[in-house]
Chain A
Protein backbone atom coordinates (compact mmCIF):
# COMPACT_ATOMS: atom_id res chain seq x y z
CA UNK A 1 0.00 0.00 0.00
CA UNK A 2 1.43 3.34 -1.03
CA UNK A 3 1.86 6.03 1.58
CA UNK A 4 -0.81 8.15 -0.06
CA UNK A 5 -3.32 5.33 0.01
CA UNK A 6 -2.40 4.51 3.59
CA UNK A 7 -2.82 8.06 4.83
CA UNK A 8 -6.12 8.35 3.00
CA UNK A 9 -7.39 5.18 4.64
CA UNK A 10 -6.11 6.44 7.97
CA UNK A 11 -8.04 9.72 7.73
CA UNK A 12 -11.21 8.02 6.52
CA UNK A 13 -10.91 5.61 9.43
CA UNK A 14 -10.60 8.53 11.86
CA UNK A 15 -14.06 9.62 10.70
CA UNK A 16 -15.57 6.39 12.00
CA UNK A 17 -14.64 7.32 15.59
CA UNK A 18 -17.43 9.90 16.14
CA UNK A 19 -19.91 7.53 14.49
CA UNK A 20 -18.93 4.67 16.79
CA UNK A 21 -19.12 7.06 19.76
CA UNK A 22 -22.63 8.19 18.82
CA UNK A 23 -23.82 4.60 18.35
CA UNK A 24 -22.26 3.05 21.42
CA UNK A 25 -22.07 5.76 24.07
CA UNK A 26 -25.82 5.70 24.95
CA UNK A 27 -26.15 1.90 25.17
CA UNK A 28 -22.85 1.37 26.97
CA UNK A 29 -23.75 4.02 29.51
CA UNK A 30 -27.16 2.43 30.04
CA UNK A 31 -25.52 -0.96 30.51
CA UNK A 32 -22.95 0.41 32.92
CA UNK A 33 -25.67 2.22 34.89
CA UNK A 34 -27.70 -1.00 35.10
CA UNK A 35 -24.71 -2.60 36.82
CA UNK A 36 -24.31 0.26 39.29
CA UNK A 37 -25.82 0.70 42.70
CA UNK A 38 -28.25 3.57 43.17
CA UNK A 39 -25.67 5.47 45.23
CA UNK A 40 -23.04 5.21 42.55
CA UNK A 41 -25.44 6.25 39.80
CA UNK A 42 -26.06 9.55 41.55
CA UNK A 43 -22.36 10.38 42.06
CA UNK A 44 -21.16 13.71 40.66
CA UNK A 45 -18.98 13.60 38.58
CA UNK A 46 -20.26 10.26 37.26
CA UNK A 47 -18.41 6.95 37.47
CA UNK A 48 -18.50 5.82 33.85
CA UNK A 49 -17.45 2.35 34.91
CA UNK A 50 -19.05 1.29 38.19
CA UNK A 51 -16.52 0.72 40.96
CA UNK A 52 -18.79 -1.79 42.64
CA UNK A 53 -20.54 -3.53 39.75
CA UNK A 54 -23.47 -5.72 40.69
CA UNK A 55 -25.78 -8.04 38.79
CA UNK A 56 -28.42 -7.64 41.49
CA UNK A 57 -30.76 -5.68 39.20
CA UNK A 58 -30.73 -8.51 36.69
CA UNK A 59 -31.04 -11.25 39.32
CA UNK A 60 -34.09 -9.46 40.73
CA UNK A 61 -35.85 -9.70 37.37
CA UNK A 62 -34.97 -13.36 36.86
CA UNK A 63 -35.91 -14.31 40.42
CA UNK A 64 -38.67 -11.81 41.15
CA UNK A 65 -39.96 -13.61 44.22
CA UNK A 66 -36.75 -12.73 46.04
CA UNK A 67 -36.75 -9.08 44.95
CA UNK A 68 -37.36 -6.27 47.40
CA UNK A 69 -39.28 -3.90 45.14
CA UNK A 70 -42.24 -4.45 42.80
CA UNK A 71 -40.35 -3.19 39.73
CA UNK A 72 -38.62 -6.50 38.87
CA UNK A 73 -41.80 -8.48 39.58
CA UNK A 74 -43.81 -6.38 37.15
CA UNK A 75 -41.00 -6.64 34.70
CA UNK A 76 -40.71 -10.41 34.80
CA UNK A 77 -44.45 -10.76 34.09
CA UNK A 78 -44.42 -8.11 31.36
CA UNK A 79 -41.53 -9.90 29.64
CA UNK A 80 -43.54 -13.11 29.58
CA UNK A 81 -46.60 -11.26 28.22
CA UNK A 82 -44.50 -9.68 25.48
CA UNK A 83 -43.02 -13.03 24.49
CA UNK A 84 -46.46 -14.69 24.36
CA UNK A 85 -48.14 -11.91 22.41
CA UNK A 86 -45.31 -11.35 19.92
CA UNK A 87 -45.02 -15.11 19.30
CA UNK A 88 -48.77 -15.52 18.74
CA UNK A 89 -48.82 -12.58 16.31
CA UNK A 90 -45.85 -14.01 14.43
CA UNK A 91 -47.32 -17.49 14.10
CA UNK A 92 -50.74 -16.26 12.93
CA UNK A 93 -49.17 -13.84 10.44
CA UNK A 94 -46.98 -16.52 8.90
CA UNK A 95 -49.84 -19.05 8.74
CA UNK A 96 -52.54 -16.94 7.14
CA UNK A 97 -50.22 -14.40 5.51
CA UNK A 98 -48.28 -16.98 3.51
CA UNK A 99 -51.52 -18.26 1.94
CA UNK A 100 -52.50 -14.73 0.93
CA UNK A 101 -49.02 -13.90 -0.31
CA UNK A 102 -49.00 -16.99 -2.51
CA UNK A 103 -52.40 -16.19 -4.02
CA UNK A 104 -51.30 -12.64 -4.79
CA UNK A 105 -47.97 -13.56 -6.37
CA UNK A 106 -49.01 -16.60 -8.40
CA UNK A 107 -52.72 -16.65 -9.17
CA UNK A 108 -53.89 -14.06 -11.69
CA UNK A 109 -57.51 -13.13 -11.01
CA UNK A 110 -59.64 -10.05 -11.34
CA UNK A 111 -59.09 -8.51 -7.92
CA UNK A 112 -55.44 -9.44 -7.55
CA UNK A 113 -54.05 -5.97 -8.24
CA UNK A 114 -56.64 -4.01 -6.21
CA UNK A 115 -56.01 -6.24 -3.20
CA UNK A 116 -52.25 -5.70 -3.53
CA UNK A 117 -52.77 -1.94 -3.55
CA UNK A 118 -55.10 -2.25 -0.61
CA UNK A 119 -52.46 -4.07 1.38
CA UNK A 120 -49.80 -1.48 0.66
CA UNK A 121 -52.18 1.34 1.58
CA UNK A 122 -53.17 -0.46 4.79
CA UNK A 123 -49.58 -0.44 5.92
CA UNK A 124 -49.68 3.34 5.84
CA UNK A 125 -52.75 3.84 8.01
CA UNK A 126 -51.65 5.07 11.44
CA UNK A 127 -52.73 3.19 14.54
CA UNK A 128 -54.25 6.34 15.96
CA UNK A 129 -56.87 6.32 13.18
CA UNK A 130 -58.03 2.85 14.13
CA UNK A 131 -57.85 2.88 17.88
CA UNK A 132 -61.11 4.61 18.89
CA UNK A 133 -63.61 2.13 17.37
CA UNK A 134 -61.38 -0.75 18.42
CA UNK A 135 -61.33 0.60 21.95
CA UNK A 136 -65.10 1.07 22.03
CA UNK A 137 -65.79 -2.45 20.83
CA UNK A 138 -63.09 -4.02 23.01
CA UNK A 139 -64.62 -2.34 26.06
CA UNK A 140 -68.12 -3.56 25.27
CA UNK A 141 -66.84 -7.10 24.70
CA UNK A 142 -64.84 -6.88 27.96
CA UNK A 143 -61.61 -7.61 26.12
CA UNK A 144 -59.57 -4.82 27.70
CA UNK A 145 -56.55 -6.22 29.53
CA UNK A 146 -56.77 -9.53 27.69
CA UNK A 147 -53.79 -10.61 25.57
CA UNK A 148 -56.17 -11.52 22.72
CA UNK A 149 -57.03 -7.87 22.09
CA UNK A 150 -53.38 -7.05 21.45
CA UNK A 151 -52.87 -10.13 19.29
CA UNK A 152 -55.85 -9.11 17.14
CA UNK A 153 -55.08 -5.39 16.91
CA UNK A 154 -51.40 -6.02 16.13
CA UNK A 155 -52.63 -7.79 12.99
CA UNK A 156 -53.55 -4.37 11.60
CA UNK A 157 -49.90 -3.52 10.97
CA UNK A 158 -48.20 -6.93 11.16
CA UNK A 159 -50.32 -8.86 8.67
CA UNK A 160 -50.03 -6.53 5.63
CA UNK A 161 -46.32 -6.23 6.31
CA UNK A 162 -45.92 -10.02 6.50
CA UNK A 163 -47.91 -10.56 3.30
CA UNK A 164 -45.84 -7.96 1.52
CA UNK A 165 -42.53 -9.46 2.65
CA UNK A 166 -43.51 -13.03 1.84
CA UNK A 167 -44.90 -12.05 -1.56
CA UNK A 168 -41.48 -10.61 -2.38
CA UNK A 169 -39.86 -13.94 -1.49
CA UNK A 170 -42.39 -16.09 -3.33
CA UNK A 171 -41.68 -14.08 -6.47
CA UNK A 172 -38.13 -15.36 -6.44
CA UNK A 173 -39.28 -19.00 -6.62
CA UNK A 174 -38.89 -20.14 -10.27
CA UNK A 175 -42.28 -20.66 -11.93
CA UNK A 176 -40.83 -23.66 -13.82
CA UNK A 177 -40.69 -25.62 -10.59
CA UNK A 178 -44.38 -25.03 -10.04
CA UNK A 179 -45.25 -25.90 -13.62
CA UNK A 180 -43.39 -29.19 -13.29
CA UNK A 181 -45.29 -30.01 -10.10
CA UNK A 182 -48.53 -29.09 -11.81
CA UNK A 183 -47.89 -31.43 -14.69
CA UNK A 184 -47.33 -34.15 -12.12
CA UNK A 185 -50.88 -33.53 -10.97
CA UNK A 186 -50.17 -31.39 -7.93
CA UNK A 187 -52.95 -28.99 -6.89
CA UNK A 188 -52.35 -25.32 -6.09
CA UNK A 189 -52.33 -26.06 -2.38
CA UNK A 190 -50.03 -29.02 -2.94
CA UNK A 191 -47.63 -26.79 -4.86
CA UNK A 192 -47.72 -24.19 -2.11
CA UNK A 193 -46.97 -26.62 0.69
CA UNK A 194 -44.64 -29.05 -1.10
CA UNK A 195 -42.75 -26.77 -3.48
CA UNK A 196 -42.97 -23.07 -2.63
CA UNK A 197 -42.91 -23.16 1.17
CA UNK A 198 -39.89 -25.46 1.53
CA UNK A 199 -37.84 -23.32 -0.87
CA UNK A 200 -38.93 -20.12 0.87
CA UNK A 201 -37.91 -21.16 4.38
CA UNK A 202 -35.26 -18.40 4.66
CA UNK A 203 -37.87 -15.86 3.57
CA UNK A 204 -40.41 -17.17 6.06
CA UNK A 205 -37.84 -17.09 8.85
CA UNK A 206 -36.83 -13.51 8.15
CA UNK A 207 -40.48 -12.47 7.83
CA UNK A 208 -41.11 -14.06 11.20
CA UNK A 209 -38.19 -12.07 12.60
CA UNK A 210 -39.55 -8.76 11.31
CA UNK A 211 -43.06 -9.43 12.56
CA UNK A 212 -41.72 -10.44 15.95
CA UNK A 213 -39.67 -7.23 16.17
CA UNK A 214 -42.70 -5.12 15.20
CA UNK A 215 -44.92 -6.79 17.79
CA UNK A 216 -42.22 -6.58 20.48
CA UNK A 217 -41.74 -2.87 19.77
CA UNK A 218 -45.43 -1.92 19.68
CA UNK A 219 -46.46 0.61 22.30
CA UNK A 220 -49.56 2.57 21.30
CA UNK A 221 -52.18 -0.20 21.33
CA UNK A 222 -50.55 -1.78 24.38
CA UNK A 223 -50.82 1.54 26.20
CA UNK A 224 -54.50 1.94 25.34
CA UNK A 225 -55.64 -1.65 25.79
CA UNK A 226 -53.68 -2.87 28.80
CA UNK A 227 -53.10 -1.56 32.27
CA UNK A 228 -53.09 -4.65 34.49
CA UNK A 229 -50.47 -7.36 34.73
CA UNK A 230 -52.57 -9.90 32.81
CA UNK A 231 -51.59 -8.45 29.45
CA UNK A 232 -49.24 -5.50 30.04
CA UNK A 233 -46.22 -5.68 27.71
CA UNK A 234 -42.65 -4.59 28.35
CA UNK A 235 -42.92 -1.17 26.65
CA UNK A 236 -45.94 -0.31 28.81
CA UNK A 237 -44.16 -1.46 31.96
CA UNK A 238 -41.14 0.69 31.12
CA UNK A 239 -43.25 3.73 30.28
CA UNK A 240 -45.17 3.40 33.53
CA UNK A 241 -42.10 3.27 35.70
CA UNK A 242 -40.25 5.97 33.82
CA UNK A 243 -43.19 8.33 34.25
CA UNK A 244 -43.05 8.44 37.99
CA UNK A 245 -40.15 8.86 40.33
CA UNK A 246 -39.10 5.29 41.01
CA UNK A 247 -36.73 4.42 43.80
CA UNK A 248 -35.36 1.49 41.86
CA UNK A 249 -34.10 3.31 38.78
CA UNK A 250 -31.22 0.89 38.20
CA UNK A 251 -33.74 -1.95 38.20
CA UNK A 252 -35.53 -0.13 35.39
CA UNK A 253 -32.29 0.24 33.48
CA UNK A 254 -31.62 -3.49 33.77
CA UNK A 255 -35.18 -4.01 32.52
CA UNK A 256 -34.52 -1.73 29.57
CA UNK A 257 -31.41 -3.68 28.65
CA UNK A 258 -33.29 -6.97 28.94
CA UNK A 259 -36.12 -5.65 26.75
CA UNK A 260 -33.57 -4.65 24.12
CA UNK A 261 -31.57 -7.89 24.15
CA UNK A 262 -34.01 -10.20 22.29
CA UNK A 263 -34.64 -7.86 19.33
CA UNK A 264 -30.99 -6.83 19.06
CA UNK A 265 -29.81 -10.45 19.13
CA UNK A 266 -32.41 -11.52 16.58
CA UNK A 267 -31.52 -8.60 14.32
CA UNK A 268 -27.80 -9.28 14.52
CA UNK A 269 -28.28 -12.98 13.74
CA UNK A 270 -30.46 -12.19 10.73
CA UNK A 271 -28.54 -9.12 9.69
CA UNK A 272 -28.19 -10.06 6.06
CA UNK A 273 -31.98 -10.14 5.66
CA UNK A 274 -32.53 -6.79 7.30
CA UNK A 275 -31.88 -4.37 4.48
CA UNK A 276 -33.83 -6.60 2.13
CA UNK A 277 -36.76 -6.60 4.53
CA UNK A 278 -36.60 -2.87 5.12
CA UNK A 279 -37.15 -2.08 1.49
CA UNK A 280 -39.08 -5.15 0.37
CA UNK A 281 -41.77 -4.38 -2.15
CA UNK A 282 -40.39 -0.93 -2.67
CA UNK A 283 -37.12 -1.47 -4.45
CA UNK A 284 -36.39 -4.99 -5.44
CA UNK A 285 -32.76 -5.87 -5.89
Chain B
Protein backbone atom coordinates (compact mmCIF):
# COMPACT_ATOMS: atom_id res chain seq x y z
CA UNK B 1 0.00 0.00 0.00
CA UNK B 2 1.22 3.47 0.13
CA UNK B 3 4.68 2.17 -0.66
CA UNK B 4 5.41 4.96 -3.11
CA UNK B 5 5.65 8.06 -0.96
CA UNK B 6 5.23 11.22 -2.92
CA UNK B 7 8.29 13.36 -2.58
CA UNK B 8 7.39 16.91 -1.58
CA UNK B 9 7.74 19.43 -4.36
CA UNK B 10 10.44 22.06 -4.22
CA UNK B 11 7.79 24.61 -3.34
CA UNK B 12 6.58 22.53 -0.39
CA UNK B 13 10.13 21.96 0.76
CA UNK B 14 10.75 25.69 0.64
CA UNK B 15 7.63 26.49 2.61
CA UNK B 16 8.65 23.97 5.25
CA UNK B 17 12.16 25.43 5.43
CA UNK B 18 10.71 28.95 5.74
CA UNK B 19 8.57 28.00 8.73
CA UNK B 20 11.50 26.17 10.28
CA UNK B 21 13.71 29.23 9.93
CA UNK B 22 11.01 31.55 11.23
CA UNK B 23 9.91 29.34 14.12
CA UNK B 24 12.33 30.50 16.84
CA UNK B 25 11.68 34.19 16.15
CA UNK B 26 7.92 33.73 15.91
CA UNK B 27 7.77 31.82 19.18
CA UNK B 28 9.72 34.56 20.96
CA UNK B 29 7.56 37.31 19.48
CA UNK B 30 4.32 35.52 20.30
CA UNK B 31 5.51 35.26 23.89
CA UNK B 32 6.89 38.72 24.51
CA UNK B 33 4.78 40.84 22.16
CA UNK B 34 1.56 39.37 20.83
CA UNK B 35 0.38 37.66 24.00
CA UNK B 36 1.15 40.65 26.29
CA UNK B 37 -0.51 43.14 23.96
CA UNK B 38 -3.72 41.09 23.91
CA UNK B 39 -3.58 40.54 27.68
CA UNK B 40 -3.18 44.25 28.28
CA UNK B 41 -6.23 44.92 26.14
CA UNK B 42 -8.27 42.38 28.10
CA UNK B 43 -6.96 43.75 31.38
CA UNK B 44 -8.24 47.21 30.45
CA UNK B 45 -11.83 45.95 30.91
CA UNK B 46 -11.22 44.80 34.47
CA UNK B 47 -10.88 46.37 37.84
CA UNK B 48 -7.67 44.89 39.20
CA UNK B 49 -7.33 45.20 42.96
CA UNK B 50 -3.87 45.33 44.46
CA UNK B 51 -2.72 42.55 46.72
CA UNK B 52 -2.55 38.84 46.11
CA UNK B 53 -5.50 36.50 45.63
CA UNK B 54 -7.89 39.35 44.94
CA UNK B 55 -10.51 38.70 42.31
CA UNK B 56 -10.60 40.85 39.19
CA UNK B 57 -14.00 42.26 38.39
CA UNK B 58 -15.22 42.95 34.88
CA UNK B 59 -16.08 46.60 34.51
CA UNK B 60 -16.61 46.85 30.73
CA UNK B 61 -15.61 50.28 29.51
CA UNK B 62 -15.49 51.52 33.11
CA UNK B 63 -11.75 52.22 33.09
CA UNK B 64 -12.05 54.09 29.81
CA UNK B 65 -15.02 56.17 30.98
CA UNK B 66 -13.32 57.00 34.25
CA UNK B 67 -10.23 58.05 32.32
CA UNK B 68 -12.14 60.21 29.85
CA UNK B 69 -13.93 62.01 32.68
CA UNK B 70 -10.66 62.75 34.43
CA UNK B 71 -9.34 66.26 33.94
CA UNK B 72 -5.78 65.07 34.59
CA UNK B 73 -6.04 62.78 31.59
CA UNK B 74 -6.93 65.58 29.19
CA UNK B 75 -4.28 67.89 30.61
CA UNK B 76 -1.74 65.11 30.22
CA UNK B 77 -2.77 64.52 26.60
CA UNK B 78 -2.38 68.24 25.94
CA UNK B 79 1.04 68.33 27.55
CA UNK B 80 2.20 65.24 25.66
CA UNK B 81 1.05 66.78 22.38
CA UNK B 82 2.84 70.01 23.26
CA UNK B 83 6.02 68.05 23.95
CA UNK B 84 5.65 66.06 20.73
CA UNK B 85 4.87 68.99 18.44
CA UNK B 86 7.46 71.40 19.85
CA UNK B 87 10.27 68.92 20.19
CA UNK B 88 9.73 67.16 16.84
CA UNK B 89 9.13 70.52 15.12
CA UNK B 90 12.34 72.03 16.45
CA UNK B 91 14.29 68.86 15.72
CA UNK B 92 13.10 68.98 12.14
CA UNK B 93 13.96 72.66 11.68
CA UNK B 94 17.36 72.33 13.38
CA UNK B 95 18.07 69.00 11.71
CA UNK B 96 17.30 70.39 8.27
CA UNK B 97 19.38 73.50 8.94
CA UNK B 98 22.36 71.47 10.14
CA UNK B 99 22.03 69.00 7.25
CA UNK B 100 22.12 71.93 4.82
CA UNK B 101 25.02 73.45 6.76
CA UNK B 102 27.06 70.26 6.36
CA UNK B 103 26.01 70.10 2.71
CA UNK B 104 27.47 73.60 2.17
CA UNK B 105 30.89 72.16 3.06
CA UNK B 106 32.15 74.62 5.68
CA UNK B 107 35.58 74.04 7.18
CA UNK B 108 35.40 71.01 9.41
CA UNK B 109 32.16 69.64 7.90
CA UNK B 110 33.39 66.07 8.23
CA UNK B 111 34.18 66.62 11.87
CA UNK B 112 30.72 68.16 12.36
CA UNK B 113 29.05 65.12 10.86
CA UNK B 114 31.22 62.88 13.04
CA UNK B 115 30.38 64.93 16.15
CA UNK B 116 26.63 64.57 15.63
CA UNK B 117 26.96 60.87 16.43
CA UNK B 118 28.02 61.60 20.01
CA UNK B 119 24.72 63.02 21.38
CA UNK B 120 22.82 60.34 19.48
CA UNK B 121 24.85 57.53 21.05
CA UNK B 122 24.77 58.83 24.62
CA UNK B 123 22.23 56.66 26.48
CA UNK B 124 18.91 58.38 27.15
CA UNK B 125 19.26 58.08 30.90
CA UNK B 126 22.78 59.48 30.90
CA UNK B 127 21.48 62.33 28.76
CA UNK B 128 18.68 62.99 31.25
CA UNK B 129 21.03 62.87 34.23
CA UNK B 130 23.48 65.18 32.46
CA UNK B 131 20.82 67.81 31.81
CA UNK B 132 19.46 67.47 35.31
CA UNK B 133 22.92 68.41 36.57
CA UNK B 134 23.24 71.19 33.98
CA UNK B 135 19.94 72.65 35.25
CA UNK B 136 20.89 72.08 38.90
CA UNK B 137 20.15 74.96 41.25
CA UNK B 138 23.30 74.37 43.31
CA UNK B 139 26.07 73.75 40.82
CA UNK B 140 24.51 73.59 37.35
CA UNK B 141 26.34 74.71 34.24
CA UNK B 142 23.32 76.72 33.05
CA UNK B 143 23.33 78.85 36.19
CA UNK B 144 27.11 79.19 36.02
CA UNK B 145 27.05 80.26 32.39
CA UNK B 146 24.22 82.78 32.79
CA UNK B 147 25.83 84.18 35.94
CA UNK B 148 29.19 84.71 34.24
CA UNK B 149 27.48 86.35 31.28
CA UNK B 150 25.80 88.65 33.79
CA UNK B 151 22.29 87.58 32.77
CA UNK B 152 21.23 86.42 36.24
CA UNK B 153 22.24 87.66 39.67
CA UNK B 154 21.67 84.52 41.68
CA UNK B 155 21.25 80.81 40.92
CA UNK B 156 17.77 79.72 39.81
CA UNK B 157 16.17 76.33 40.55
CA UNK B 158 15.19 75.87 36.90
CA UNK B 159 13.38 72.56 37.04
CA UNK B 160 11.01 73.73 39.77
CA UNK B 161 9.65 76.60 37.66
CA UNK B 162 6.20 75.38 36.50
CA UNK B 163 6.16 77.23 33.18
CA UNK B 164 9.75 76.52 32.27
CA UNK B 165 10.26 72.87 33.24
CA UNK B 166 8.61 71.31 30.17
CA UNK B 167 10.62 73.48 27.81
CA UNK B 168 13.83 72.45 29.56
CA UNK B 169 12.86 68.81 29.12
CA UNK B 170 12.34 69.57 25.43
CA UNK B 171 15.82 71.12 25.11
CA UNK B 172 17.37 68.04 26.71
CA UNK B 173 15.40 65.78 24.37
CA UNK B 174 16.41 67.81 21.32
CA UNK B 175 20.09 67.51 22.19
CA UNK B 176 19.76 63.73 22.17
CA UNK B 177 17.48 63.19 19.18
CA UNK B 178 18.10 66.06 16.76
CA UNK B 179 21.32 64.43 15.44
CA UNK B 180 19.22 61.50 14.16
CA UNK B 181 17.15 63.89 12.05
CA UNK B 182 20.22 65.83 10.91
CA UNK B 183 22.13 62.68 9.90
CA UNK B 184 19.19 61.15 8.03
CA UNK B 185 18.51 64.38 6.14
CA UNK B 186 22.19 64.97 5.45
CA UNK B 187 22.49 61.52 3.89
CA UNK B 188 19.40 62.20 1.77
CA UNK B 189 20.80 65.59 0.69
CA UNK B 190 24.06 63.97 -0.35
CA UNK B 191 22.12 61.56 -2.56
CA UNK B 192 20.56 64.37 -4.62
CA UNK B 193 22.47 64.73 -7.90
CA UNK B 194 24.39 68.01 -8.22
CA UNK B 195 23.31 68.70 -11.80
CA UNK B 196 19.74 69.43 -10.68
CA UNK B 197 21.05 72.21 -8.52
CA UNK B 198 23.34 73.50 -11.24
CA UNK B 199 20.56 73.51 -13.80
CA UNK B 200 18.37 75.55 -11.49
CA UNK B 201 21.28 77.86 -10.83
CA UNK B 202 21.73 78.43 -14.55
CA UNK B 203 18.01 79.20 -14.78
CA UNK B 204 18.57 81.99 -12.29
CA UNK B 205 17.29 80.40 -9.08
CA UNK B 206 19.03 81.78 -5.98
CA UNK B 207 20.28 79.63 -3.12
CA UNK B 208 17.10 80.13 -1.09
CA UNK B 209 14.86 79.12 -3.98
CA UNK B 210 17.05 76.13 -4.78
CA UNK B 211 16.79 75.00 -1.19
CA UNK B 212 13.02 75.23 -0.92
CA UNK B 213 12.01 74.35 -4.45
CA UNK B 214 14.51 71.66 -5.38
CA UNK B 215 16.07 70.09 -2.34
CA UNK B 216 13.17 70.12 0.14
CA UNK B 217 10.71 68.42 -2.27
CA UNK B 218 13.32 65.75 -3.04
CA UNK B 219 13.91 65.30 0.68
CA UNK B 220 10.23 64.61 1.28
CA UNK B 221 10.59 60.84 1.83
CA UNK B 222 13.52 61.30 4.23
CA UNK B 223 11.69 64.07 6.09
CA UNK B 224 8.66 61.81 6.38
CA UNK B 225 10.72 58.95 7.82
CA UNK B 226 12.38 61.21 10.36
CA UNK B 227 9.06 62.83 11.22
CA UNK B 228 7.19 59.59 11.82
CA UNK B 229 9.95 57.81 13.72
CA UNK B 230 10.39 60.83 15.94
CA UNK B 231 6.67 61.51 16.44
CA UNK B 232 6.03 57.95 17.58
CA UNK B 233 8.97 58.13 19.98
CA UNK B 234 8.17 61.60 21.29
CA UNK B 235 4.52 60.78 21.96
CA UNK B 236 5.52 57.95 24.26
CA UNK B 237 8.39 59.80 25.97
CA UNK B 238 9.19 58.38 29.38
CA UNK B 239 12.87 57.97 30.27
CA UNK B 240 13.90 61.60 30.10
CA UNK B 241 10.85 62.80 32.02
CA UNK B 242 11.42 60.17 34.68
CA UNK B 243 14.97 61.24 35.32
CA UNK B 244 14.71 65.00 34.82
CA UNK B 245 11.52 65.94 36.62
CA UNK B 246 9.53 62.80 37.55
CA UNK B 247 6.54 64.59 36.03
CA UNK B 248 6.87 67.59 38.35
CA UNK B 249 6.62 70.35 39.35
CA UNK B 250 2.93 69.77 40.11
CA UNK B 251 2.34 67.51 37.07
CA UNK B 252 3.67 70.21 34.74
CA UNK B 253 5.84 67.72 32.86
CA UNK B 254 3.55 64.68 33.26
CA UNK B 255 3.27 62.84 29.95
CA UNK B 256 0.89 60.06 28.95
CA UNK B 257 3.37 57.19 29.30
CA UNK B 258 4.48 58.50 32.67
CA UNK B 259 0.86 58.70 33.82
CA UNK B 260 0.34 55.12 32.63
CA UNK B 261 3.41 54.02 34.56
CA UNK B 262 2.18 55.74 37.73
CA UNK B 263 -1.29 54.20 37.43
CA UNK B 264 0.07 50.73 36.82
CA UNK B 265 2.93 50.62 39.28
CA UNK B 266 2.46 53.39 41.84
CA UNK B 267 -1.28 54.08 42.22
CA UNK B 268 -2.22 50.40 42.04
CA UNK B 269 -4.71 51.02 39.23
CA UNK B 270 -3.64 48.40 36.73
CA UNK B 271 -6.96 48.47 34.87
CA UNK B 272 -6.65 52.20 34.25
CA UNK B 273 -3.01 51.72 33.33
CA UNK B 274 -4.00 49.08 30.79
CA UNK B 275 -6.68 51.36 29.30
CA UNK B 276 -4.19 54.21 29.01
CA UNK B 277 -1.55 52.02 27.42
CA UNK B 278 -4.14 50.76 24.94
CA UNK B 279 -4.73 54.36 23.87
CA UNK B 280 -0.99 54.88 23.39
CA UNK B 281 -0.93 51.72 21.28
CA UNK B 282 -3.82 52.95 19.16
CA UNK B 283 -1.98 56.17 18.42
CA UNK B 284 1.19 54.27 17.66
CA UNK B 285 -0.59 51.79 15.40
CA UNK B 286 -2.17 54.66 13.47
CA UNK B 287 1.32 56.05 13.01
CA UNK B 288 2.54 52.59 11.98
CA UNK B 289 -0.12 52.43 9.30
CA UNK B 290 0.90 55.82 7.99
CA UNK B 291 4.48 54.59 8.10
CA UNK B 292 3.73 51.48 6.08
CA UNK B 293 1.38 53.22 3.67
CA UNK B 294 3.72 56.06 2.78
CA UNK B 295 7.11 54.51 3.22
CA UNK B 296 7.13 50.77 2.92
CA UNK B 297 7.08 50.09 -0.79
CA UNK B 298 9.10 46.96 -1.44
CA UNK B 299 8.08 46.84 -5.13
CA UNK B 300 9.82 50.11 -5.87
CA UNK B 301 13.14 49.27 -4.36
CA UNK B 302 14.20 46.67 -6.89
Check A121/B288 contact, CB under 8 A, given A20-B112, A104-B22: yes
Within 8 A of A (CB), among B164-184: 175, 179-180, 183-184
Could you tell me the distance between the alpha carbons of A224 and B236 in the complex, rounded to whole angstroms?
17
Which of B117, B119, B243 contacts A274, CB < 8 Å? B117
Given A129-B278, A133-B36, A275-B187, answer yes or no on A235-B22 (Cβ-Cβ < 8 Å).
no
Q: Label chain A's interface by main secondary structure.
A: helix
Q: Does A125 contact B (CB under 8 A)?
A: yes
Q: B108 at the A/B interface (Cβ < 8 Å)?
A: yes
- Which A residues lie within 8 Å of B243 (CB)? 238-239, 242-243
Complex CA–CA separation, A192 to B14 (angstroms): 13
Size class of the contact patch on chain B: 35 or more
- Point out the residue from A109, A159, A283 that lies within 8 Å of B14, measured CB to CB: A109
Interface of B is mostly: helix
Residue from B121, B130, B238 in contact with A263 in the complex, judged by beta carbons closer than 8 Å: B121
Contacts of A256 in B (CB 8 A): 126, 129-130
Q: Given A128-B277, A271-B117, are A260 and B122 neighbors across the interface (CB < 8 Å)?
A: yes
Partner of B17, one of A20, A163, A189, A252: A189
Tell whether A91 is near chain B: CB-to-CB under 8 Å.
no
Asked whether B121 lies within 8 Å of A96 as measured between CB atoms, the reply is: no
Q: Which residue of A lies closest to B284 (CB)?
A: A124
Chain B 144-173: CB-based contact to A (< 8 A → 1; otherwise 0): 100110000001000000000000000000
User: What residues of chain B lie closer than 8 Å to A129, measured between beta carbons?
Assistant: 36-37, 40, 277-278, 280-281
Chain A residue nearest to B178 (CB atoms) is A22
Q: Would you call A239 and B125 a contact (CB within 8 A)?
A: yes
Known: A99-B21, A104-B22. A155 touches B28 (CB 8 A): yes
B126 touches A260 (CB 8 A): yes
In B254-302, the 8 Å CB interface with A consists of 257, 260-261, 264-265, 270, 273-274, 277-278, 280-281, 284-285, 287-288, 291-292, 295-296, 301
Whether B124 contacts A132 by the Cβ 8 Å rule is no
Task: Tell yes or no: A52 within 8 A of B by CB.
Answer: no
Is A122 engaged at the interface, CB distance under 8 Å to the other chain?
Answer: yes
Q: In the complex, what residue of chain B is closest to A96 when comparing beta carbons?
A: B24
The answer to whether A26 touches B280, judged by C-beta atoms less than 8 angstroms apart, is no
Distance between Cα atoms of A216 and B123 in the complex (Å)? 8
State in angstroms the CA–CA spacing of A97 and B139 once bound together.
47
Q: For A238, list chain B residues within 8 Å (CB).
A: 125-126, 129, 243
Taken together as a complex, chains A and B put the C-alpha atoms of A281 and B123 apart, in Å, by 24
Min CB distance B174 to A, Å, is 9
Pairs across A and B, CB under 8 Å, 19 listed: A12-B101, A13-B106, A19-B98, A26-B141, A46-B139, A100-B22, A107-B18, A109-B14, A128-B238, A130-B32, A155-B32, A159-B25, A220-B239, A223-B242, A256-B130, A267-B117, A282-B291, A283-B188, A285-B187
